[in-house]
Amino acid sequence: MSKTESDLIERHFRSAGYRDASEDHGHPGWVWSGVARPVPAVADLAGTTTLTAELSAALDGVRGPRPRHHPGRVLVDLAVAIANGAEAISDIAVLADQPALFGSVASDPTCWRLLDALGDPELAAVAAARARAREVAWAQRAETTGAAFGPSRVADTAGVEALVIDLDGHIVV
């Protein structure tokens, strides 16, 4: 990770109320109010890159007559739950049990209702919303570092200005 990328990450976490844990006890990582918060950082990042707002706008027609939770926020909360190790929709309760960290989180029946309401048009809208948020994320990185992505070493080159995705595969015989 370059110094500029490290500075960008540090600025993001500090602006969200985190502090470097190594300042307290020498362990790497970011803490907030004395609690390690890598998973809430995913939700914070979704907000910073406009993903939550894009998803909510794309799914606005899916909301019920008395909505308490924006559909985009429900999808982000599901993603955060998965990042936290959730294996079932009901595991979103782990987030709901920590309102100081995650705010108001939808119940698992609300999650099920949203997922049940997603048909092909809504899934296409979600894909488009994700693409727009991805563009914002790349633009934010380019604004901060001067390039959407830095030089990548490929096939013994000095570096090419390209996004390189290295996939490893296994052959099982």
**117-149 tens-digit pLDDT:** 899 999 999 999 999 998 888 888 888 888 777
How far is residue 139's CA from residue 131's CA, in Å, rounded to a whole number? 12
Which pLDDT does position 129 carry in this prediction?
92
pLDDT tens digits, 11-24:
666 665 566 655 55
- The single-letter code of the amino acid at 2 is S
Residues 27, 106 contacting (CB under 8 angstroms): no
- The alpha carbon dihedral of 114, 120, 122, 124 has a sign of positive
pLDDT in tens, 51-91: 888 888 888 888 766 667 888 889 999 988 888 788 889 98
Cβ(53)–Cβ(85) below 8 Å: no
Long-range CB contacts (< 8 A, 24+ apart) of 154-160?
none
Concatenate the DSSP letters of all residues of 55-72 into one string. Answer: HHHHTGGG--SS-SS-HH
CA dist 84 and 170 (Å) reads: 27
Task: Give the span between the Cα atoms of 93 and 89, in whole angstroms.
Answer: 9
pTM higher than 0.75, yes or no?
no
The full set of domain ranges for the chain reads 37-161
Do 57 and 129 meet the contact criterion of CB atoms below 8 Å apart?
yes
pLDDT at residue 36 greater than cutoff 50 = no
pLDDT tens, residue by residue, 40-61:
677 778 888 888 888 888 888 8
Higher pLDDT, 28 or 153: 153
Supply 132's token pair: 């727009």
